[in-house]
Amino acid sequence: MHRTRLYIDGMFTAPEGEQYFPAINPATEGTFAEVAAGQAVDIDRAVRAARRAFDAGEWPGLNGGARAGILRRIAEGIRARLKEIALLEVRDNGKPVPEAEWDVADAAFCFDYYADLAEEHAARPRETVDVGDARFQATISREPLGVIGAITPWNFPLLMAVWKVAPALAAGCTVVLKPSELCSLSCEVLAEIIHAAGVPAGVFNLVTGTGPEAGQPLADHPLVDKVAFTGSVATGRKVMQAASAGIRTVSLELGGKSPFLVFDDCDIDKAVEWILFGIFWNKGEVCSATSRVLVQRGIFDRLLERLRIATETIEIGSGEASGVKLGPLVSKGQYDKVRDAIEAGKRSGARLVTGGDRPEGFDHGYFLRPTIFADAPTHSAIWQEEIFGPVVCINAFDTEQEALDLANDSKYGLAAAVMSDDLDRCERVAARLRAGIVWINCSQPTFTQVPWGGYKMSGIGRELGRAGFDACCETKQITRFDHRERWGWYLDAPE
């Protein structure tokens, strides 16, 4: 059985305590690998290696074009091992093979994209600003921020890690990556690819382990300049508190309870397709999942019935099986959490339309039928709280203003979607939705080139796009006075 390794200061190594924990295949509930259980001492070694590589190594001062070449080799390495990595993620996470392959291909593109930005930055390292006084020349430069501690989730194991690692490396930072203990194996392959691409020792480090034993020491470490975290609100709050002790930079992506507004002038079949994709893609284990659907009353009953029929035809099974569109939930803990939320939804008075239980014929594995609730009380947990599973609530509305009020009545603000054939209305509604990402006539398409992040309790900061690169930089102004001039504030100019 494969045992994973840590990657610290350019070397693959066992954890200090030689401790491991099982990697569980959620389709079989069987152990298929053992994951290195890094401890605080391993985090300390990794952070100190990253610190040395940043303070005294070549990477931060390396020309952006040279860094870009290495990033492109990483992208090529990911593509060369795409099917291998995808299968690891299927066994680790449960998602179907086509979804996993899509994720891995996106991860490779992410490195290519940030290689391009590294080259662009190298070509224009400074911006000159007119300050209105010819005696002064002011420039703005962006320099690598330092050591970045990246703590990443289990729902897109490789891709979410790459969202943090690729821009950090492109900007000249050094990184310590702590992936989720539930899904760590593809990140070990990433370390192998980064090593083979020629990234200098200490620039990238990988420590797997649990949140308390590895994640918290990374967030607490005084030599880390920035903590970049994706996960739950509760853990994000702890990360932010830890970072505040050292006045360190922090970025947080904390999920949501995203609304999808469907108006009665749209094609119902198109709406059903996007509702399905918005909540059942990746088993609903998606931070931006549009899990609160608001449908205008004129089409509510027809849309709900078509959605029920379509939902009940979704192929459920192991992610390795051909034709499967819905795999098992990632772990027993997550499975129990989603089942508890469904039971709470029933008690709240919401109407269970379909699903909510284990599908027939699945005695093992964390399988759950895709679930639809209707007429959920808007104060209930099933309507307000993130479930992170294949569970959607459908409620009716009458007017545009009512839909907006219901959509914005949430502590979250990561994403939202609106569907209508009236594009003017779509633009008007999009402008008033309190969310960092708004989709018009679709749900969930995600592009590396545009920023990702939310309002309110969905987090702080932005990833992806140029914003993701800038988030790994410090901004410096340099102002120069013309040496041929005299200031003359305290000392008179000579005769």
Strand ranges (E), 402-454 = 412-413, 415-419, 437-440
Residue 73 identity (one-letter amino acid): R
Is 253 a known active-site residue? Answer: yes
22: helix, coil or strand? Answer: strand
- Annotate 122-150 with three-state secondary structure: HHCCEEEECCCCCCEEEEEEEEECCEEEE
CA 340 to chain CA centroid, nearest Å: 25
Query: 461: closest CA among 133, 228, 154, 204?
Result: 228
Are 287 and 155 a contacting pair, CB within 8 Å? Answer: yes
271: helix, coil or strand? Answer: helix
Q: Which of 101, 119, 253, 463 is catalytic?
A: 253
Are 157 and 183 a contacting pair, CB within 8 Å? Answer: yes
CA 121 to chain CA centroid, nearest Å: 24
Taking the C-alpha atoms of residue 217 and residue 149, their distance in angstroms, rounded to an integer, is 10
- Give burial (CB, 10 Å; 0-12/13-18/19+) of 100: buried
Query: 179: closest CA among 157, 205, 156, 203?
Result: 157
Are 437 and 452 a contacting pair, CB within 8 Å? Answer: yes
Taking the C-alpha atoms of residue 432 and residue 244, their distance in angstroms, rounded to an integer, is 32
Residue 345 identity (one-letter amino acid): G
Write the Ramachandran bin of 69: left for phi over 0, alpha for psi from -120 to 50, otherwise beta.
alpha
Active site residues: 253
